[in-house]
Amino acid sequence: MDRVFFVAVIIGITSRIIMLNLDQKQYPTQPNVLLSQLILAFVASSLGALLVPALINRSYTSITFLSLAAEQFRQVRANRRNTLQNLEEVQLVKRGAAFIEEIARTYEVRNYMCIVTSFLTIGLYYVILAETKISEGMSLVISSICGLVLAFILKKLLTRKSIGDIADVMPAEISFVDESILKVGDLKGITNIGLKSDREVYINRGVGIQIIPKNKDYANAGILFDSGQRQAIVYNIYSRLGLYGDYGEPSFVPLPRRNKEDESIMIAYLPVDKNVEKVMEAVKSCPILSSSKGKNLSLKNYKIGKKGSAWDGNGYRFKWIYPSYSYTW
């Protein structure tokens, strides 16, 4: 029992370590954050490893401890949410409520992954011993391998898509119309930059960004249209490339705007170092938030800008076909 318990705990912690490289895309890589995550992984893995022997001995009170652990992990989620919300006050570019909730939810889910992997490892060990004539040592090896395989499967399932998977990202020209109205690509009216010195900064140091939904898909456009997702994109750029600006300079805060002609998103950004390629990569690497999905599902069969589609240049046009009837409005 002691040996298989420690192996199951190690497998559970390993599953958490596998995901740490993904976490660093969203979380500060501070030593205290890393240590707290490893400690929580140990606690979660221990719970998963103890659950099977407890159930075999019909100690059903162990379910109570599992529910208490789940409540504790939800509290960890709440604490992380509160911490990030408090940090919003000192950010030049805000994460946004949607991104903060996504990070907090991820903290909670990773702990459940440790419980599942350690539970499967020790559970499979007892099943192999009971149903086959394989030795204890070989049963432990097989169950450990299966636990690691599950960890990689969960990593694959929990890995979110990024903006680069649903959109084409390309540079766009920054200019001004009517002297002070900021224009990115074909979209004008981004914001009003009153000071001439600020306009010169945009012209000399700014990088225009155009994010176009792939395949002219309304579902992809719905993700980009979500305000939380757009804020996450500009924060992702800020966290990697910084912002050429300081507190009290609202003219330099990026404002993502929607181009209604092609459902693209236009951004004028001022990185510390004007490197267009790095800016494009920062946009593409931004994770897609769960809260941004599920929009425009009724338009999945339509293409943006296509004649006779949902948008034909004159207004929205929907067509539903139901048994033998066709309705258009």
Local confidence band at 30 (pLDDT 50, 70, 90 cut-offs):
low
Higher pLDDT, 128 or 297: 128
Convert the pLDDT of each residue in 290-323 to its tens digit.
888 877 667 766 777 665 554 444 444 444 333 3
Convert the pLDDT of each residue in 79-114 to its tens digit.
888 988 888 888 888 999 999 998 888 888 888 889
Whether pLDDT at 231 is above 90: yes
Structure-token match 């599992």, residue found: 66
For residue 322, the model assigns a pLDDT of 34
| Angle at alpha carbon of residue 104, lines to 102 and 108, rounded to 5° | 110
Q: How far apart are CA 98 and CA 291, in angstroms?
A: 7
Tell me the C-alpha to C-alpha distance, in Å, between residue 248 and each of 80, 252, 303.
28, 10, 42
Local confidence band at 329 (pLDDT 50, 70, 90 cut-offs):
very low
